[in-house]
Structure formats: C-alpha cells, structure tokens
Amino acid sequence: MLQQTQVSRVVPRYRVWLDRWADVYALAVTPIADVIRAWQGLGYNRRAVNLHRAAQHVAGHGWPDDLTELPGVGPYTAAAIGNFAFGRAELPVDVNIARVLERTGTEFSPAAAQALFDLGATVCLARVPRCGECPLATGCPARGRTYEPQRKQGPFEGSFRQRRASLLRLVAAEAQPATTDPEAVASLLADGLVIVEDDLVRLPA
C-alpha cells in the first residue's frame, strides 16, 4: 500500500484491511472483485491484483526464499519484507534512503533501516535538507547544500490515470459497456483489473 502512496492515506486503510483479512490465507480465498473494491482510493490498482496473487501463492506454497518470485514484488519490496518481517540482513533502499546514502557517502547496517527511512523522510529532504537537525551533519560532505526540484508526475486531474480510475469505480459498482472508454478498458484489462464479457466490462470473479 505504501508504494507511491502517502502514509497518511495508507494507515487507516491498512487497519481496515487487516480487520477484514488478518492473514494471507483469508485474503487468498477472497474473490478478486472484493479485493479490488476494497483497494479503491489508494491508486495504482494493479497492486491489489498482485497482492491477491501473492497471497494465493503463499497460501498454496509457503513463503519463497526469493521473495521477488511473488507477483508485484521487486528487489526493494523484497528487501523491506525480508528486513522487517523476517529479520534478514538486507537494507531496503527507497528514494529516501538512497538520498541519505548518496549525500553522506556512508554505508549503513540493515539494522538502521527504520532510522534511515525516518531521516530521509523528515530531515534529509530532497530540496532543502534540515542539516541543523541531522545527527549525521558533522561528517556529511553535503551539509548545507540545496537541490533543484526533481521532475514530478503530471497532474492527476484530466489525465489518463484519472480516466482509468473513474472507469474502474463505475465498473466496481456495476458492469459498464465496453465502448465506454476503449483505451481505459484495454489498459485495465491488461492489468487484470477487469474482464469483458458480452460487450460488458466487469470485475473478475
């Protein structure tokens, strides 16, 4: 849920999710349509499909040694799960941790993962770091520097992403004609979020 989504949006949804599906076994036997509906509002809905598929894999075969075998799990997510869930000596490097590593030029133990997450998110900021508050400032070669803003994703309003999300909300409520927005239908179909039957777009069973 935290992939490309703010913590403030995720936390209440995460709690509701765990109340409904306390473990992978409960999620694995749930119809994918219910999972997609529950994910509405978090964005990047393909993550819901991947999470459901991953739960089915774990329920049927157990946790793989190589977590990237799970649908939707890349090296970063695998390292994060390995570190926080299984206690493995792996450092999950997201954009915040990567920024701290680059600026300090220091290698850190995987045991420092949570501290590095917090440092990158609240102190070692992308544009104007708060060096005066940083516990690493005295030895940091980047102390006092500021940075140009990085290119941001285009606005959601009026975008294709908005069209996709709008169509998926409609389909989650009831089946829609396949001609509603063919481009958005094709994109949702490719992500496994919808099926087309009898010229109607509906959620998978």
Taking only the tens place, the pLDDT of each residue in 83-142 is: 999 999 999 999 999 999 999 999 999 999 999 999 999 999 999 999 999 999 999 999
Residue with tokens 């997609």: 36
Class of domain 7-73: mainly alpha
Q: Where in the chain is the domain with CATH 1.10.340.30?
A: 7-73
Has this prediction a pTM greater than 0.75? yes
Distance of alpha carbon 83 from the chain centroid:
17
| Rounded Cα distance, 58 and 54, in Å | 6
Q: What band does 153 get if pLDDT is binned at 50, 70 and 90?
A: low
Say if residue 68 is exposed, middle or buried (CB neighbours under 10 Å; 0-12, 13-18, 19+): middle
* CB proximity list for 196: less than 8 A, separation 6 or greater: 178, 185, 189, 202
* CATH architecture under which domain 90-150 falls: Orthogonal Bundle (1.10)
Give the 3-state secondary structure of residue 147. coil
